[in-house]
A and B are shown apart, each in its own frame.
Chain A
Amino acid sequence: MAARVVVIGLASDFGCQVQMTNIEDDLLDVLGTIDLVYWQLAASGHMPEEYDVAIVEGAVTTDAHVETLKRVRETASVVIALGACAATGGIPALGATGDLEAHYGCVYGQDAAQVACGRITPMAIDSVIGVDYVVPGCPIDTEEFLVVLSRALLGLKSRVPAEPMCAICKTKENVCFFERGELCLGVITRTGCGARCITLGRPCTGCRGVAPEANLDSAIALLAEKGITAERLFERARLYNTLEEALDR
């Protein structure tokens, strides 16, 4: 029997769910291998009572999100975190530092009281429940998503790369941004996207999270030699990694 899959979104712009629809060439084949019982972005039905795999996009920003996640964890045998918001807190987690109410007031003014009822400090979903597989990135890389989904369906071990991005970037024969004195977060960011932005001519913004094997001390030292301060590195990195403890220094 095909695995029953649900796709749900918490606090995010649903960009990663949109990205799933961008797998045009393979989407029908994928759908042939699973029983997609709920897809929040694309269907108007209700979340079913039973399912096997939950793909969760978005960060946790309300009490309701916490309740949803707990239900998901009780029901699903496999939980996949989809995208930066779910994986690291992503953009919503920018509100995790400072005064939360002030942030809401800044955006919504007098109406702040009426939006996001039961709001809590933003966090990644693994702060609430155990997560079995992660597809990092903003947005997700469709190829990586398919690989992770197939591993999840087959019950294979999760394999999120731990190294920074420079190796794959070298295989694309990109000229290193640091040679031009420009800051690129690839040197500390988790690889796995194929250094897509850099190959397209933009420095890495760190959307895939800080690589567990990144050597931050050495990165800070070498950046200093190039006239780039640690503060600039951290400021850039926090866009997607506000909650990253490694950057708390």
Chain B
Amino acid sequence: MFFRVMDKERVPELVSGLSESFELFGPVAKGEKFVLDRIEDPAELRLDFDTTLLPPKKLFFPPEDQMMRFRVADNEVLDDEVFAAPRMIFGLHPCDINALMLMDNVFTGDYEDPYYTARRASTMIVGVSCVPTESCFCNAWGTDEVHWGFDVFLTDIGDRYFVSVHSVKGAELLDQHVVTREITDEDTAAFQERTRAFKSSFTEELDTAQLPLLLDAKFDDKLWDELGERCLSCGACSMVCPTCYCFDVKDRLAADGKTGVRVRTWDSCQFSEFAEVAHGDNFRASRASRVKYRYYHKQWGYLSKFERVLCVGCGRCAKACLAGISPREVVKALEKGGEC
């Protein structure tokens, strides 16, 4: 890693240059919210975004994704190749970059997923620093910082960006498309000051040190029943979660019945069918058991395998949940041993 400094006014020329070689994605406005979308015009890019409605997983693991086509008569697979054009996402916050690395553990680990892997390998990432919002709790998991998982990272230090360059390709692209300069002591001081201000701007410090132990101890806590009474079983939390990776696989026949497509769609452990098996038995038939499962998977099961929790504190689920169920509240309730 090495560091440079780039004036903010240089961003449009950098973005224009990059869009010649990549399908460029970044945060753009959608009403008062933001979404990750194709950047056709550098003026659309909104690096001042708070968060995006859907996390970047949608670009690697789309909500609905065709896995293959098949011919019915002889079960022949017709088209299962994954083509991924060179892409770049310009403007991901540390939480979302961390989330992609948690997804990597699943999709590129013991069972390599060709669809995810191909898109991941063809996508460069430019990160950008953020300002914590009221719903952010990335500081609880240490995902407010990111040290790898990007090509270039831009930290806002006033009228300029402190540029962390992590990959050779990232260095080459910067060289090619934009003027940067060497860092000065003043830049470094500004960077450190910004980091200090950032760290102290979270609404609260969540104590998560005891969480695995508490989850172990509170499997039968009445908290889970209370949450089950509130849960709407809508699955919105899973959809907007940057680390929820469960999917369903469906075959759909064409209208002539001769060919079909196999698609996978995002699934949610909050759906009643999720743990239903042949013969109609359901391992998690109650709402309470499904809400509980979500927390035990994310904050306990994944942890025991990958030594990280499967949550980056982005706050999307808390905002999406009309019933107001949020990991922050759940963690606090477990700590207190009281109601949520």
Contact = CB atoms under 8 A, between A and B. Distances in A.
B337 interface: no
Interface string B323-337: 110000000000000
Contacts of B58: 171
B304 to A, nearest CB: 27
Contact of A215 (B32, B232, B320): B232
Contacts of B230: 215, 218, 221
Contacts of A118: none
User: Which one of B32, B58, B233, B273 has the greatest number of beta carbons of chain A within 10 Å?
Assistant: B233
B63 interface: yes
Contacts of B232: 164, 166, 187, 214-215, 218-219, 222
Nearest to B54: A173
Contacts of A154: 253
Contacts of A175: 30-33, 53
14 contacts: A26-B254, A30-B255, A162-B273, A165-B234, A167-B266, A168-B239, A171-B58, A173-B54, A176-B322, A213-B271, A214-B232, A218-B231, A222-B322, A222-B324
Nearest to B58: A171
A3 B287 CA distance: 41
A165 B233 CA distance: 10
B253 A150 contact: yes
B31 A167 contact: no
Contacts of A176: 320, 322
Nearest to B64: A171
In this complex, the interface size class of chain A, counting residues with CB under 8 Å from chain B, is 35 or more
Given A26-B254, A147-B252, 10 more contacts: A29-B254, A30-B256, A146-B255, A170-B53, A173-B53, A213-B272, A215-B230, A218-B229, A221-B230, A222-B324
B247 to A, nearest CB: 12
A176 B322 CA distance: 9
A32 interface: yes
Given A26-B255, A175-B30, A222-B322, A167 B273 contact: no
Interface string B229-260: 11111111011100000000000111111000
Interface string A172-213: 010110100000000100000000000000000000000001
